[in-house]
Amino acid sequence: MARERGSDDAPAPATAEGTAPGSPGPLRWLPSLGGPGESESLTTVLVALGANVLIAVAKSAAAAVTGSASLVAEAAHSWADAGNEIFLLIANRRSRRPPDPAHPFGHGREAYVWSLFAALGLFVAGAAVSVTYGVLELAHPEPASYFAVGYAVLAVSFVFEGISFRQSVRQARAEAQVMQRDLIEHVLATSDPTLRAVFAEDSAALAGLVIAAVGLGAHQATGSVVPDAVGSILVGALLAVVAVVLINRNRRSLVGEEADPRVRATAVQALLDAPEVARVTYLRLEIVGPRMVLLVAAVDLTGDDAESALAVRLRALEARISASPAVAGTVLTLSAPDDPALAPEA
Asked if residue 87 lies in contact with residue 110, where contact means CB atoms within 8 angstroms, the answer is no
Alpha helices in 15-94 (DSSP H): 38-66, 69-94
Instruction: Say whether pLDDT at 39 is over 80.
Output: no
Interval 215-252: pLDDT, tens = 999 989 998 989 989 999 999 999 999 999 999 999 99
Instruction: Say whether pLDDT at 263 is over 50.
Output: yes
Instruction: Say whether pLDDT at 124 is over 90.
Output: no
Confidence class for position 142, pLDDT limits 50, 70, 90: confident
C-alpha neighbours within 13 Å on the C-beta side of residue 18: 8
Confidence class for position 38, pLDDT limits 50, 70, 90: low
Which residues share a beta bridge with 285? Answer: 295
Query: Which CATH superfamily includes the segment(s) 7-30+259-334?
Result: Cation efflux protein, cytoplasmic domain (3.30.70.1350)
Residue 44 to residue 98: CA distance in whole angstroms: 23
Q: What is the pLDDT of residue 100?
A: 87
Interval 147-188: pLDDT, tens = 899 899 999 999 999 999 999 999 999 888 888 889 999 999
- State percent of the chain over pLDDT 90: 41
> Cα 1 vs. chain centroid, distance in angstroms?
40
pTM (two decimals): 0.79
Nearest to 111 by CA among 193, 178, 23: 193
Q: What is the pLDDT of residue 13?
A: 32
Residue 230, H or E segment: helix 226-255
- Domain map of the chain by residue range? 7-30+259-334, 36-256
Q: What is the pLDDT of residue 226?
A: 92
CATH number of this structure's domain 36-256: 1.20.1510.10
β pairing state of 327-334 and 292-301: parallel
- Once rounded to an integer, what is the mean pLDDT over residues 51-58? 91
Indicate the range of 14-18, 82-86, 287-291 predicted with least confidence: 14-18
Asked if residue 107 lies in contact with residue 94, where contact means CB atoms within 8 angstroms, the answer is yes
* Average pLDDT over all residues of the chain: 84
Q: What is the pLDDT of residue 42?
A: 84
Q: What is the pLDDT of residue 141?
A: 86
Cβ atoms < 10 Å from Cβ of 244: 14
Buried b (16+ CB within 10 A) or exposed e, 289-314: bbbbbbbebbbbbbeeeeeeebeebb
Helices (H) and strands (E) in the chain, counts: 10, 4
Instruction: Say whether pLDDT at 3 is over 70.
Output: no
Could you tell me which residue, 343 or 294, shows the higher pLDDT?
294
Nearest to 275 by CA among 22, 25, 8, 18: 22
Instruction: Say whether pLDDT at 267 is over 50.
Output: yes
- State percent of the chain over pLDDT 70: 88
- Torsional sign, CA 319, 324, 329, 332: negative
Collect all residues with Cβ–Cβ distance below 8 Å to 225 and sequence separation of at least 6: 69, 137, 138, 141, 142, 143, 144, 219
